Amino acid sequence: MKILIVEDEYILAESITSYLRMNGYLCETANNYKSAEDRVVCSEYDCILVDIGLPDGNGLELIKKLKEIGSSAGILILTAKNSLEDKITGLELGADDYITKPFHLSELNARIKSILRRRNFSGNTKIQFNEITIDPNEQSVNINNQPVTLTRKEYDMLLFLIANKDRIVSKESLIEHLWDSEVVFSDSHEFIYTHIKNLRNKFYEKNCRDYIKTIYGIGYKFSDH
């Protein structure tokens, strides 16, 4: 999977690259509109992350360009502007999703996964992790071909953890992922803990291995080793 990161802030582009590389993506970066345009014309990408405010142009223009040349790449807009108008314009131009700075890298990764999955019309859209099978279209989870009933939040949490498998997911990023609203409560941590416990119990009942590892002081990691 090849990803182009169009972001004028070098360090941010660099950290996104490091994180995505850990997740097995090939990453290229462009720090301005011109070089981004050159890159998208020359090669194919599976997903392109576009920062709207570029020093020499607007990211929205790049999205127009991509549609002009008939690119099939998924497009995720990164922006510091949390404005509804930009969001609507971006999505109307054909972007797949929108993420507002400052974001968690794990959140970014989950969004990219979801875009790539939706783009992959022909292939299998189901997510498989050993004995766990998730069907995002039906929002159903099977373990050893037996259905498991999860609450909405438990399902979202599982999907988020699997999207960031083998990576440490911080509690903060989980909280922000689970609640759209800007509200963070002191007991949200306790709440995450309860959900993780419930998820573990439900998996345990279906004789599923415990893949959720608690990382002391930081968060959780979904891993089979």
Partner 1 sequence: MKLLSKSILYFFPISIAVFIAGGVIYYHKTRSMIYHQVDSSLISEKDIIQEQIEKIQDIPDFYAVPGQEINVRLLSEETRPFQNFSDTIIKNPDTGEETAYRMLDYRNALKKAGGYQINIMETFDEKRELLQYLTVSLFISLLSLLVLSLIIYYIISRRIWHPFYDTLAQVNLFDINSNKPLKLEEPNIHEFRQLNKVLTGMAQKVQNDYKSLREYNENASHEMQTPLSVIRSQLELMQQMENLSAGQIRIINVINGSVQRLSKLNQGLLLISKIENQQFNITEEVNLNMIVDKIYSEFEELINLRKITVEKYYQDGIILKMNPVLAEIMISNLLSNAVRYNVSDGFIRIKTVKDTLSIVNSGTRLKADPKELFERFRKAHQNGEGTGLGLYIVRKICDNYGFMANYMYKDSVHELQISFNQPYMHPYGIH
Integer Cα distance of 161 and 137 in angstroms:
18
Buried b (16+ CB within 10 A) or exposed e, 63-96: bebbeeeebebbbbbbbeeeeeebbebbeebebb
Name the minimum Å distance from CB 27 to partner 1.
14
Residue 83, helix vs strand vs coil: coil
**Under rule CB under 8 A, residue 197 binds partner 1:** no
Q: How many residues does the chain have?
A: 225
Which residues does residue 97 pair with via DSSP β-bridges, in sequence order?
A: 76
**Under rule CB under 8 A, residue 188 binds partner 1:** yes
Tokens of 203: 């998996």
Contact present, 198 and 149 (Cβ < 8 Å): no
How many chain residues bind partner 1 (CB under 8 A)?
45
**Under rule CB under 8 A, residue 218 binds partner 1:** yes
> Which residue among 26, 184, 210, 213 contacts partner 1 (CB under 8 A)?
184
Residues in 75-134 at the binding interface with partner 1, rule: CB under 8 A: 80-85, 100-106
Nearer to partner 1, 66 or 105 (CB): 105
Name the minimum Å distance from CB 182 to partner 1.
6
Residue with tokens 């306790």: 190
Residues in 28-67 at the binding interface with partner 1, rule: CB under 8 A: none
> Which residue among 39, 168, 200, 206 contacts partner 1 (CB under 8 A)?
168
**Under rule CB under 8 A, residue 11 binds partner 1:** yes
Name the minimum Å distance from CB 164 to partner 1.
10
Torsion angle, alpha carbons of 164, 166, 172, 178, to 10? 40
Name the minimum Å distance from CB 19 to partner 1.
6
**Under rule CB under 8 A, residue 223 binds partner 1:** no
Contact present, 28 and 99 (Cβ < 8 Å): no
Name the minimum Å distance from CB 133 to partner 1.
26
Residue 24, helix vs strand vs coil: coil
Which residues does residue 146 pair with via DSSP β-bridges, in sequence order?
A: 143
If one counts every other C-beta atom within 10 angstroms of the C-beta of residue 213, the result is 13
Name the minimum Å distance from CB 48 to partner 1.
18
| Residues in contact with partner 1 by the rule CB under 8 A | 9, 11-12, 15-16, 18-19, 22, 80-85, 100-106, 151, 153, 167-168, 170, 172-173, 179-188, 190-191, 194, 216-219
